[in-house]
Amino acid sequence: MADPTVWWLLTGAAVAVELLTGTFYLLMLAIGLAAAAVAAHLGLSQTSQFITAAVIGGGAVLACYLVRDKTRAGPVSANRDVNLDVGETVQVAAWNPDGTAHVKYRGADWTVALAPGSLDAPGLYRVREVVGSRLVVEKI
């Protein structure tokens, strides 16, 4: 079997396994295998094909890892992608002396706590984080 055919079959296998497992990094390695197939079509040596697969695939994995690491939000309790309450608004009528208040939110009573640096005046607040059964809010 010709070298390009082997590389294309390996690329297809990597994509198929990625679809079954959901491992995005395997898709990045498949890009490297496809680059090696192109290198084989260009007539490069087998050593060059392996180096192409390793450099392109490894570089794609590294780039994906670095981009994912930079875009990752803070803790799960403050991540809007995980907790849909983050970013919503609540109306606080009055604050207790201990820095908490009780609000009606989504049809239930919630205890809210004031985020550091926020004012404790009555009014509209945005949910910054959910800690246990408390909403941590900041003044809008």
**pLDDT tens, position by position, 47-73:** 999 999 999 999 999 998 888 766 665
pLDDT tens digit sequence for 81-103: 788 889 999 999 999 988 899 99
What pLDDT, on a 0 to 100 scale, did the predictor assign at position 71?
62
Q: How far apart are CA 127 and CA 102, in angstroms?
A: 13
CA angle 129, 133, 137 (to 5 degrees): 35
Task: Quote the CA–CA distance of 38 and 61 in Å, as a whole number.
Answer: 19
pLDDT at 45: 96
Domains and CATH numbers, the chain: 3-71 (no CATH), 76-139 (2.40.50.140)
pTM given for the model: 0.55
Q: Is 38 helix (H, G, I), strand (E, B) or coil?
A: helix
| Tokens 């992608």 -> residue | 81
